Amino acid sequence: MLSSPEAQPRPQRLMTKPAAALCGVVAVLAALGAGHLVAGYLDPQSSPYLAVGNSFIDRTPAWLKNIAISTFGTNDKLALLLGMGAVMILVGTAAGLLCRRNRAAGTGFIVLLGIVGTFAALGRPDTKAVGALAPLAAVVVGVAVLLLLVCQATPDAIGGPLSRRSFLGTAAALAAAAGLGAVVGQRARNSTDVAASRATVGTVTPVNALAPAPGGADFLADGGLPFITPNADFYRIDTAFDPPRIRAEDWSLRIHGMVDKEISINFAQLMGRPQLAQRVTFTCVSYEVGGDLVGNADWVGVSLRDLLLEAGVRPGANQIFSSSQDGFTASTPVDVVMQPDRGAMLAVNMNGEPLPVEHGFPVRMLVPGLYGFVSATKWITDIELTTYAAKQAYWTPRGWSDHGPVKIASKVTAARRSVGPSNNTVTVTGAAWAQHLGIAGVQIRVDGGAWQDARLGADGGTDAWRMWRADAAGVSGGSHTVECRATGADGVQQTEQMSRPDPDGATGWHSFNFTV
């Protein structure tokens, strides 16, 4: 219909390459913006951009993921976001360039992307069927924008070639609209009343109020870490590109599998149980000697052991297979959780407030003395009693251990010239932890000299880390190295042997360089 037989044949002039690339990139932006907008209102998890990001995380080979965590640490999500942005620009450029000679090919490329996005969105464990509309909207908008811009950029367009300025104007307007769509979609998604729901949960009063952190538990003035890690500074590690947003009133947990009696419990019922407070230091198995993937908080929640006693764990079940709403799973040893003094819990409060969304709101699991990846499932919705032979959790096939007791560790956080007349003394501060065992002592040595005992901060319980401080005398100006090593309450000293985080946690003495 657009090309009448009477149209006089002219040699076809092509779009310039930059114009074609711009058409494609703007089309991809528009598609993602539209998808994010629709998803924000229908089902946040179905946003093609987020779904592709999440699927990408799950399919990333373990070695690459380990590099990402060790290179970017808790910024690995940002790195992924930027990386995906770069890929999208490449993809858009390819689609635009294809359109120069063959519009159908360029359009088909966008449709293909849409299909990938749809599968990624629907393949998420928590996507609703209505979520398919988001990638669909993305494809429709992406194709429409691509064709519109290509028409304008093609010199022999019907209605005469548009000026370069008006083409750029249209492209800019569409890109802005895409950005606006994404922002509005993001706001809609964030308005899922999680904030209101968190407010209704509020501060839970435990049956055993924890004493405030003991005075002298840390050495902040000397450069040490705070004994209690504020929520905003607490490290975050998970496979969720964008954390699930679950309202407490919509939450429930099913305990099933090798149990005598299945239990299904909602948030109100969980809150009706005795709430216990515990001060527990968390460590990630990806913690590298001297790294930051460790934090200490006051948690309030219910006893997991008591719930499992009610369910009646059948003999032979040796694995607690917990799942989060977004599909992450963890393998926790039954025998550890069932130890009466272990303190395995389903936590609802962190440092006096409801769990922050990033830390698992409304409910997460935690087991003092186990690394997070085998015990600390955030956004937990399912617990299955099973065997290690029957099921593998998220990290197991990726080459990590399926048990994961925390290894004793210590690190230096600062070394500074002490104030005062004896100006060749250096004050060294640090932290040490051996969750559920406790720290008996820490020693330091400067430049490979004699070991000296550090002074331990006040004891905040065996599940919490221990801060320490030492004054090293006779340290002249220049560059130096200080090392530290901890001894557990069982008398066993931290090994000097360096090992990598995978498969079951790093070991080795932390060596810290400083200059005075």
Ligand X SMILES: Nc1nc2c(c(=O)[nH]1)N[C@H]1C(S)=C(S)[C@@H](COP(=O)(O)O)O[C@H]1N2
Q: Which positions lie near Mo ion, rule CB under 5 A?
A: 237, 284-285, 372-373
Which one among 107, 127, 275, 324 touches ligand X, defined by CB under 6 A? 324
Q: Is the distance from CB of 347 to CB of 363 less than 8 angstroms?
A: yes
Lookup result for tokens 């008398």: 491
Q: How far is the CB of 360 from ligand X (least distance, A)?
A: 6
Residue 405: DSSP 8-state: B
Q: How far is the CB of 258 from ligand X (least distance, A)?
A: 23
Closest Cα partner for 414 from 365, 469, 462, 372?
A: 469
Residue whose CB is less far from Mo ion, 373 or 468: 373
Residue whose CB is less far from ligand X, 347 or 444: 347
- Say how far apart CA 412 and CA 484 lie, in whole Å: 7
Query: Could you give the string, one character per residue 239-258, with x where binding to ligand X holds by CB under 6 A and - elsewhere?
Result: xx------------------
Helix (H, G, I), strand (E, B) or coil at 498: coil
Helix (H, G, I), strand (E, B) or coil at 16: coil
Closest Cα partner for 69 from 285, 268, 369, 342?
A: 285
Helix (H, G, I), strand (E, B) or coil at 255: strand
Dihedral Cα 339, 345, 351, 355, nearest 10 deg: 160
Q: How far is the CB of 16 from Mo ion (least distance, A)?
A: 49
> Is 379 one of the binding residues for ligand X (CB under 6 A)?
yes
Residue whose CB is less far from ligand X, 359 or 480: 359
Residue 211: DSSP 8-state: P
Q: How far is the CB of 364 from ligand X (least distance, A)?
A: 7
Q: Is the distance from CB of 49 to CB of 36 less than 8 angstroms?
A: yes
- Say how far apart CA 145 and CA 87 lie, in whole Å: 19
Residue whose CB is less far from Mo ion, 249 or 288: 288
Residue whose CB is less far from Mo ion, 361 or 373: 373
Query: Could you give the string, one character per residue 338-377, with x where binding to ligand X holds by CB under 6 A and - elsewhere?
Result: ---------------------x------------xx--xx
Residue whose CB is less far from Mo ion, 74 or 425: 74
Token duo for residue 451: 């070991």
Residue whose CB is less far from Mo ion, 219 or 287: 287
Residue whose CB is less far from ligand X, 28 or 293: 293
Q: How far is the CB of 197 from ligand X (least distance, A)?
A: 18
Residue whose CB is less far from Mo ion, 284 or 334: 284
Other CB atoms closer than 10 Å to residue 367's CB: what's the count? 29
Q: How far is the CB of 231 from ligand X (least distance, A)?
A: 9
Query: Could you give the string, one character per residue 222-241, with x where binding to ligand X holds by CB under 6 A and - elsewhere?
Result: ------------xxxxxxx-
Dihedral Cα 36, 41, 43, 44, nearest 10 deg: 50
- Say how far apart CA 104 and CA 110 lie, in whole Å: 10
Burial letters for 373-392: b for 16+ Cβ neighbours within 10 Å, e otherwise? bbbbbbbbbbbbbbebeeee
Q: How far is the CB of 80 from ligand X (least distance, A)?
A: 14
> Is 332 one of the binding residues for ligand X (CB under 6 A)?
no
Q: State which of positions 275-294 bind ligand X (CB under 6 A).
A: 282, 284
Q: How far is the CB of 234 from Mo ion (least distance, A)?
A: 13
Helix (H, G, I), strand (E, B) or coil at 485: strand
**Cα angle 400, 466, 469; round to 5:** 125
Q: How far is the CB of 504 from ligand X (least distance, A)?
A: 13
Which one among 219, 227, 328, 400 touches ligand X, defined by CB under 6 A? 328
> Could you write out the three-class secondary structure of 299-331?
EEEEEHHHHHHHHCECCCCCEEEEEECCCCEEE
> Is 109 one of the binding residues for ligand X (CB under 6 A)?
no
Residue nearest to ligand X (CB): 372
Q: How far is the CB of 509 from ligand X (least distance, A)?
A: 22
Residue 514 binding partner per list ligand X, Mo ion, none, with a CB distance cut-off of 5 to 8 Å that depends on partner kind: none
Residue nearest to Mo ion (CB): 284
- Say how far apart CA 45 and CA 130 lie, in whole Å: 11
**Cα angle 264, 267, 268; round to 5:** 105
Residue 396 binding partner per list ligand X, Mo ion, none, with a CB distance cut-off of 5 to 8 Å that depends on partner kind: none
Residue whose CB is less far from ligand X, 375 or 462: 375
Q: Which DSSP helix (H) or strand (E) runs through 349?
A: strand 345-350
Across the strands, what pairs with 295? 282
Q: How far is the CB of 282 from ligand X (least distance, A)?
A: 6
Residue 47 binding partner per list ligand X, Mo ion, none, with a CB distance cut-off of 5 to 8 Å that depends on partner kind: none
Residue whose CB is less far from ligand X, 219 or 251: 251
The residues of the shown chain that bind ligand X, judged by CB under 6 A, are: 234-240, 282, 284, 324, 328, 359, 372-373, 376-379
